[in-house]
Amino acid sequence: MGRLTVNLCGVELDNPIIPASGTFGYGYEFAELYDINMLGSFSFKGTTKEPRFGNPTPRIAECPMGMINAVGLQNPGVEKVIAEELPKMRQHFHKKVMANVSGFSVEDYAYTCERLNGEEDIGWFEVNVSCPNVHGGGMSFGTSPEAAAEVTAAVRKVTDKPLLIKLSPNVTDIVSIAKACEAAGADGISLINTLLGMRIDLKTKKPVIANKMGGFSGSAIFPVAVRMVYQVAGAVNIPVVGMGGVSSAEDVIEMMLAGATAVEVGAANLIDPFVCKTIIEELPRVMDKYGIQNLSDVIGGAHHG
């Protein structure tokens, strides 16, 4: 084991750095820039049962220290992901990958995970419960413990791969939702997804994004993410994958001290495509600065201080 090695739900990672879903495609675009096998893993683009074109444009709004997006889960659908995207990905990435799955009904989630379950290079499922429940009035599955648990239980029945549930921060009590997912069979929790944000154009006096509102991400949300990771890690007995505004090796260590076993990097990839490579290369130096011998030793360290 190396200094940067961590174990996520029984799968050993060379380091805890995982590019977040929606910011890294299927990896092969970034493989043109550097050897992506240096990553711990990556979470590929959110996959749904049917193909999705996504939301109308404009979909992006810039903000100080962040961005708002409303892409709308644009993806080719699970059948094309299996037939076309994963074979291309395998040419460049030779480790276990994280499959990010979204849906608009419990049945959608279960179907998509069951179809992907036979792919050997998928090491974990990361189930995004921030999607609107079309049968429940459009409210996100992740806004109630009961709905999140229902999705977790349905996916648990169709796969024996490690199951991570990705939670929305747009709730009043994230701990109760995380605990409900754990009780329903989750092997880990991923958090946080984007906050809900909005920009208005002063010239047109209309929302910048066609969807009016979108997911706010970037370094501005980092303190919120650290707080929620700390809360959830202290309440559950399963690993936590932390994300939200991470852009440096120092951020990674802070997130791990809050309780994260692995750390995803999202919006920063859109600003600097080399950011994950830089973080991995910088981690040993930052560890030395703070007297850290092995990264795995700091997981949850802030809970013991």
276 is known as an active-site residue:
no
Q: What is the 3-state secondary structure (H, E, C) of the chain?
A: CCCCCEEECCEEECCCEEECCCCCCCCCCHHHCCCHHHCCCCEEEEECCCCECCCCCCCEEEECCEEEECCCCCECCHHHHHHHHHHHHHCCCCCCEEEEECCCCHHHHHHHHHHHCCCCCEEEEEEECCCECCCCCCCEHHHCHHHHHHHHHHHHCCCCCCEEEECCCCCCCHHHHHHHHHHCCCCEEEECCCEEECCEECCCCEECCCCCCEEEECHHHHHHHHHHHHHHHCCCCCCEEECCCCCCHHHHHHHHHHCEEEEEECCHHHHCCCHHHHHHHHHHHHHHHCCCCCHHHHCCHHHCC
Instruction: State the catalytic residue, choosing from 9, 113, 131, 276.
Output: 131
CA-to-CA distance for 201 and 34, rounded, in angstroms? 38
* CA end-to-end span of the chain: 26
Backbone φ, ψ for residue 44 (5° rounding): -80, 170
CA-to-CA distance for 217 and 192, rounded, in angstroms? 10
Positions marked catalytic: 131
